[in-house]
Amino acid sequence: MSMRWPLPLALSLTLAACAGAPEQSEPAPVGTSARVAAEPAAPALTSGIDLANFDREVRPQDDFYRFVNGAWLAKTEIPADKNNYGAFTILQDEAEKNLHAIVEEAAAGAATAGTDAQLVGDFYKSYMDEAKAERLGLAPLQPELDRIAAIQDRTQLLEYLARAQLLLIDTPISASVIAAANNPEVNALWLTQSGLGLPERDYYFSKEQRFQDIRAAYVRHVDAVFKLAGRKDSAAVAQRLLAFETRLAKANWPAVRMREFQKLWNPLDVEAAEKASPGIDWSRWLARMGLDHVETVSLGQPDYFVAVGQAVNDVPLATWRDYLTLRAIDSYSPYLSSAFVDENFDFYARTLSGTPELKPRWKRALGELENSTGDLLGKVYVERHFPPEAKQRMEQLVANLLKSFDASIDELDWMSAETKREAHDKVRHFTVKVGYPTKWKEYPGLVTKPDDLLGNVLRARDVNVQREIAKVGKPVDKTEWSLTPQTVNAYYNPLGNEIVFPAAILQPPFFDMTADDSVNYGGIGAVIGHEISHGFDDRGREFDGKGVLRDWWQPTDAERFNALAGMLVKQYDAFSPLPGMNVNGQLTLGENIGDLSGLAVAYKAYQLSLGGKPAPVIDGFTGEQRFFLGWGQVWKRKYRDEELVKRLKTDPHSPAQYRCNGILRNMPAFARAFAVEPGDQMYLAPEQQVRIW
């Protein structure tokens, strides 16, 4: 995502968790009447299916994912600087090449101070000056480390925890500025858990050998960091910090519980918040943040903040200083000398995700520019790489998918008329954003210099953080995006009841302007349906059409929904991509509902687009078959084992093969299209199939 206030609550429900960006979007048109009318057939349309990726030794009735992608899986190696690779990352690589050209131009020119080209070009040049970073070593960060070393009492500790938030240094207290759940027209301050060096609480407690090995590697990493910082007692420090973080992890809510919005929204006035979390002087913390005018905060996990308050008051200050030193160095290591860069990469990328090689420096520079000044790049990217006709076709397709979803509500036999009326109202109130924002983010006062990398990073963080702080208590800007247009992803925001499709995803295999509609409906149509369906998944359904966290369901309907969702949970719980590790059906439920309902509504929209006429047979496949082939090919993806372990613990998205096959087993239309019968591995008995929307 572009540089902005951290969003640990994951309120934006994305299509896919991918390297380079959480996760991506595209179009193909149909008519605009109430029953979507057919368009005149375009001449010489292709199938849009990459037949070279097929494994013809695999029957589609047994493993559709490998039938469509098996040859690609067999011949493709994950690039050495990546932890996973697939359709999303291939498109992100293409966007990266285009962005690289933009920043190289900016760096080569002699732009006027303060212009977009100068800000981007000088920032990029500072990052590419590896020799200077090598000469400076830890020196650029030393003033911050000295501030941490000067903490002498609990008041100073609390004030530094606030300062660290401003610097985007991870600590046990994290703040997000997002819409209030009870009044999404106004921005509120959400406080939530954070501050662990390992990805998730289970990494601290699991007795499985793989997690014991990771904990041992983390201790070695902390030891190495403090050795580089000149500490002679680094080994003892590492053991103390593991014990401290384990204490914090014990109080952390598990990932599944973090999906429960009703429990995450706990608005309290500041005095009540202080009583609810003894030991944390929220008034002082807010004042140090520049938020002394704030009267109400939301304590995301009340019992967790009780534990943090206790730690603020009884953990030795020496341990806190060491912890904050580690968090600061880990946060800023990418901008220091190679010793710090390599150590940071070795643990966080190689050990945790299995990535063999560090990205080339230009890619790391580009990633930082994306984080810091993403909209400056986005403006140029859109001008060069996003044709107006793509936006127009996408907007039309989204409108037709919304109509199809709206019509499908009336066909539900498990939902009462009262709840259906509310569901229809929510569909009518969707906000659709396609391609790029109507208003770009600004970076007032930002100064970048060609010879001051860490200074550029700090100044950019300050500009972006101050933009967020200024929002608290103010009306929500409905034009704002949480992704840049050059991000290959898409998302749904429940507090805004909005679906967003950035420009970069509007390319094959998701959307192909030269292809027959079937593959586009199976690709980008399903993406659109996925994001619409997020408004009605296990979390999105808790918000109404105006984005208010409100129970609009009749009790019996909620029970029926939960029963259907429970069936889907059990299906995914049974999937095991690695020995001894299964998919967490509850953690991935929202995304699985998005996939299931999104593909179903896209299929319905495709059928309506035919206007009663048969689809042509292309490359030996019927239109219905090509629709599902289009779905299957967007999920081609390979993972390194370490990354897959991490995703199984933390990612709300199921692994790609189950996003493909797990959904298709629940669709009678798929079984008809490919003659799936009892005994086939893709067969699921009708009484076991799930249809929610």
Per-residue pLDDT reduced to its tens digit, 666-678: 999 999 999 999 9
User: 374 with 300, same domain?
Assistant: no
Beta carbons within 10 angstroms of residue 442's beta carbon: 11
The CA-CA-CA angle for residues 468, 474, 476, to 5°, reads: 80
For residue 197, what pLDDT is reported? Answer: 98
| Cβ contact 499:433 at 8 Å | yes
Of residues 98, 102, 95, 97, the one with CA closest to residue 505: 95
Question: What's the CA gap between 473 and 295, in Å, rounded?
Answer: 9
| Cβ contact 10:190 at 8 Å | no
- Residue partners of 125: CB distance under 8 A and separation at least 6: 107, 450
> Starting from the edge strand earliest in sequence, which strands make up the sheet with 187-193, in order?
173-179, 187-193, 296-299, 267-269
**Which amino acid, one-letter code, is at 589?**
L
Question: What's the CA gap between 118 and 218, in Å, rounded?
Answer: 40
**Res 491 pLDDT > 60:** yes
pLDDT tens by residue, 343-378: 999 999 999 999 999 999 999 999 999 999 999 999
What is the phi-psi region of residue 473: left when phi exceeds 0, alpha when psi lies from -120 to 50, beta otherwise? left
User: 525 with 580, same domain?
Assistant: yes
Averaged pLDDT, 251-255:
96
Which is more confident, 39 or 539? 539
3-state secondary structure of 649: helix
User: 389 with 487, same domain?
Assistant: yes
Q: What Cα–Cα distance (Å) separates residue 221 from each residue in 204, 265, 353? A: 15, 36, 15
| Cβ contact 609:38 at 8 Å | yes
| Cβ contact 355:83 at 8 Å | yes
Q: What is the CATH number of the domain that holds 490?
A: 3.40.390.10
For residue 162, what pLDDT is reported? Answer: 97
> Starting from the edge strand earliest in sequence, which strands make up the sheet with 498-502, in order?
13-14, 491-493, 498-502, 431-435
User: 318 with 426, same domain?
Assistant: no
| Cβ contact 78:354 at 8 Å | no
For residue 471, what pLDDT is reported? Answer: 97
User: 484 with 621, same domain?
Assistant: yes
User: 193 with 277, same domain?
Assistant: yes
User: Which pair of tokens denotes residue 327?
Assistant: 């968090």
Query: Minimum mean pLDDT among 232-236, 248-252, 387-391: which range?
Result: 387-391
User: Which pair of tokens denotes residue 610?
Assistant: 């035919």
Domain housing 405: 14-35+48-95+369-441+480-688
**Res 494 pLDDT > 70:** yes
Side-chain-facing half-sphere of 575: CA atoms under 13 Å: 22
- The kind and range of the H/E element at 236 are helix 234-251
User: Which pair of tokens denotes residue 382?
Assistant: 């859109």
Strands 491-493 and 498-502 come out as antiparallel
Residue 521: inside a domain: yes
**Which amino acid, one-letter code, is at 345?**
F
Q: What Cα–Cα distance (Å) separates residue 530 from each residue in 561, 570, 596, 637? A: 17, 21, 8, 19
For residue 393, what pLDDT is reported? Answer: 86
- Provide the number of structural domains found in the chain: 2
User: 245 with 381, same domain?
Assistant: no
- pLDDT confidence tier of residue 109, bands split at 50, 70 and 90: confident
Residue 266: inside a domain: yes
For residue 43, what pLDDT is reported? Answer: 54
User: Which pair of tokens denotes residue 134?
Assistant: 């090598």
**Res 555 pLDDT > 70:** yes
Residue 578: inside a domain: yes
For residue 45, what pLDDT is reported? Answer: 84
User: 373 with 331, same domain?
Assistant: no
3-state secondary structure of 642: helix
For residue 514, what pLDDT is reported? Answer: 87
| Cβ contact 633:664 at 8 Å | no
| Cβ contact 182:318 at 8 Å | no
Q: Which of 335, 357, 386 is the last residue of a domain?
A: 335
User: 318 with 375, same domain?
Assistant: no
Percent of the chain at pLDDT > 70 equals 94
Question: What's the CA gap between 653 and 29, in Å, rounded?
Answer: 28
Of residues 482, 489, 520, 500, the one with CA closest to residue 430: 500
Residue 351: inside a domain: no
- Residue partners of 605: CB distance under 8 A and separation at least 6: 30, 36, 400, 401, 403, 404, 521, 525, 529
Residue 497: inside a domain: yes
Question: What's the CA gap between 201 and 205, in Å, rounded?
Answer: 7
For residue 33, what pLDDT is reported? Answer: 28
| Helical ranges in 12-86 per DSSP H | 64-75
For residue 34, what pLDDT is reported? Answer: 30
Question: What's the CA gap between 444 and 460, in Å, rounded?
Answer: 10
Residue 583: inside a domain: yes
3-state secondary structure of 59: coil
For residue 407, what pLDDT is reported? Answer: 94
- pLDDT confidence tier of residue 1, bands split at 50, 70 and 90: very low
For residue 547, what pLDDT is reported? Answer: 97
User: 420 with 292, same domain?
Assistant: no
| Cβ contact 42:409 at 8 Å | no
| Cβ contact 207:37 at 8 Å | no
User: 584 with 632, same domain?
Assistant: yes
Q: What is the CATH number of the domain that holds 180?
A: 1.10.1380.10
User: 492 with 583, same domain?
Assistant: yes
The CA-CA-CA angle for residues 612, 615, 618, to 5°, reads: 180
Question: What's the CA gap between 670 and 344, in Å, rounded?
Answer: 46
Question: What's the CA gap between 103 and 124, in Å, rounded?
Answer: 7
pLDDT tens by residue, 277-314: 999 999 999 999 999 999 999 999 999 999 999 999 99
How confident is the prediction for the chain on average, in pLDDT? 93
Following CA atoms 25, 31, 37, 39 in sequence, which dihedral angle do they give, to the nearest 10 degrees? -90
Residue 468: inside a domain: no
Q: Which of 335, 360, 388 is the last residue of a domain?
A: 335
Write b or e for each residue in 279-312: b if 16 or more Cβ atoms lie within 10 A of its Cβ, otherwise e. bbbbeebbebbebeebeebbbbbeebbbbbbbbb
Chain centroid, CA 249 distance in Å: 22
Residue 346: inside a domain: no
The CA-CA-CA angle for residues 579, 585, 589, to 5°, reads: 145
DSSP per position, 167-189: TT---SEEEEEEE-SS-TTBEEE
pLDDT tens by residue, 513-550: 889 999 999 999 999 999 999 999 999 999 999 999 99
Q: Would you call the peptide bond into 450 cis, given omega within 30 degrees of 0 as the criterion?
A: no
For residue 42, what pLDDT is reported? Answer: 45
Handedness of CA 62, 63, 69, 73 (dihedral sign): negative
Following CA atoms 527, 528, 531, 532 in sequence, which dihedral angle do they give, to the nearest 10 degrees? -150
